[in-house]
């Protein structure tokens, strides 16, 4: 068997499995990131929270209209569409799953945003762009899937112009030996089944260190976990019964999204949702 050095086979398998496709489509209309909540927001108003998280990204990118930006791991392109529509950014999205790219193109056309948005099927560890192509690069909950984050960060550094900005919305976790054994084992299983080898290794401080080692100046790391917890909690409420059912028959690995919702909520003290801002 050919070794899966880029984690491509596992990532594609995870996103193409019926549970993932149905879950993201049913609950988030295909978008695949958490929302940002303010005090008194309803936890069930997911579209509002999703769009606000995308606006927070736009604010952290702080680019003028017309700036050229890379969306690494763009999914179905909803994040890029928001940033193009609201901030006037010109965005190139890249994703490993061909079906995501096709859907991103369809949505851009439907929204009349195709002059600002371009999507390509590919791996962000080996980008098909010349050096210094972009004013900014961002990731929205995808670097956790990388087989080797060092390679990806070097690639982001290469395609950014000098002074260009890198913003990453990613997860970081507690060191396994400081977690209760069953919680650490649950993280290991989930990161394996959801194809997230880099989340398994992103213990607190790791992404900052790797970003600096790739040549960036790290400007700021923000822990915004509490602003996304209402969405995680609402998913955990919905997933509780389906997860209990699959667990009773030992089939958790076929319901990874339900398991993630319940277990990542239960063990929320052991991981954070962070925004990393850096400059080349
Ligand atoms: C959690 S989803 C986030 C999608 C999108 N950023 C959003 O917020 O809706 C992670 C995405 O990263 C993509 N991905 C994972 N590894 C990748 C890689 N090496 N190169 C390009 N895309 C990748 C997946 O296919 C998936 O669409």
- The predicted-structure confidence for 25-47, as pLDDT tens digits, reads as follows 878 888 999 999 999 999 999 99
Q: Are strands 271-279 and 160-173 parallel, antiparallel or unpaired?
A: antiparallel
pLDDT at 73: 98
pLDDT at 8: 87
Report, as an integer, the average pLDDT of 112-130.
Answer: 97
Q: Which two tokens stand for residue 112?
A: 């009349």
Q: How far apart are CA 104 and CA 75, in angstroms?
A: 7
64 pLDDT above the threshold of 90: yes
pLDDT at 145: 97
Q: Whose CA is nearest to atom 2 of ligand 1?
A: 32
Q: Is 83 in the pocket of ligand 1 (CB under 6 A)?
A: no
Q: Is 170 in the pocket of ligand 1 (CB under 6 A)?
A: no
Q: Which two tokens stand for residue 20?
A: 């993932």
Report, as an integer, the average pLDDT of 110-139.
Answer: 97
**Sign (positive or negative) of CA dihedral 75, 78, 81, 87:** negative
Q: Whose CA is nearest to atom 11 of ligand 1?
A: 73
pLDDT at 193: 94
Q: What's the Cα-to-Cα distance from 77 to each of 9, 13, 99, 224, rounded to whole Å?
A: 21, 20, 11, 23
Q: Give the pLDDT confidence of 241-269 residue by residue, as tens digits.
A: 999 999 999 988 888 999 999 999 999 99
pLDDT at 6: 66
SS3 132: coil
Lowest mean per-residue pLDDT among 136-150, 246-260, 265-279? 246-260
Query: What are the residues whose beta carbons fall under 8 Å from the beta carbon of 67, sequence distance 6 or more?
Result: 89, 90, 135, 136
Q: Is 141 in the pocket of ligand 1 (CB under 6 A)?
A: yes
Listed in order, strand segments (DSSP E) in 174-256 are 217-223
Domains and CATH numbers, the chain: 8-172+197-223+274-279 (3.40.50.150)
SS3 197: helix
Q: How far apart are CA 229 and CA 239, in angstroms?
A: 15
pLDDT at 5: 59
Q: Is 82 in the pocket of ligand 1 (CB under 6 A)?
A: no
Cβ contact 132:162 at 8 Å: yes
Task: Band the pLDDT of 1: cuts 50, 70, 90.
Answer: very low
Atom of ligand 1 nearest to the CA of 32: 9
**Sign (positive or negative) of CA dihedral 29, 32, 38, 39:** positive
């Amino acid at each position: 068997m050919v070794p899966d050095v880029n984690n491509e086979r596992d990532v594609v398998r995870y996103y193409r499995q019926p549970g993932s496709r149905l879950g993201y489509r049913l609950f988030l209309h295909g978008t695949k990131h958490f929302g940002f909540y303010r005090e008194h927001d309803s936890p069930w108003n997911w579209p509002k929270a999703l769009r606000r998280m995308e606006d927070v990204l736009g604010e952290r990118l702080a680019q003028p209209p017309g700036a050229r930006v890379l969306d690494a791991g763009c999914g179905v392109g909803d994040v890029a569409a928001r940033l193009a529509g609201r901030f006037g950014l010109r965005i190139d999205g890249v994703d490993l799953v061909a079906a995501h790219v096709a859907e991103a193109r369809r949505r851009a056309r439907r929204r009349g945003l195709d002059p600002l948005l371009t999507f390509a099927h590919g791996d962000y560890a080996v980008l098909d762009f010349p050096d210094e192509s972009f004013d900014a690069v961002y990731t929205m909950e995808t670097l956790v899937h990388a087989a080797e984050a060092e390679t990806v960060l070097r690639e982001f550094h290469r395609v950014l112009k000098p002074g260009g900005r890198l913003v990453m919305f990613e997860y970081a976790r507690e060191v396994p030996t400081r977690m209760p054994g069953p919680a650490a084992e649950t993280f290991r299983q989930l990161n394996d089944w959801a194809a997230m080898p880099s989340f398994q290794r992103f213990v607190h401080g790791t992404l900052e260190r790797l970003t600096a080692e790739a040549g960036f100046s790290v400007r700021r790391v923000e822990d915004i976990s509490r602003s996304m917890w209402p969405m995680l909690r609402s998913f955990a409420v919905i997933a509780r019964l389906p997860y209990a059912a699959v667990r009773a028959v030992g089939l958790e690995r076929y319901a990874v999204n339900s398991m993630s919702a319940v277990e990542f909520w239960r063990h929320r003290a052991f991981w954070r949702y962070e925004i990393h801002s850096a400059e080349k």
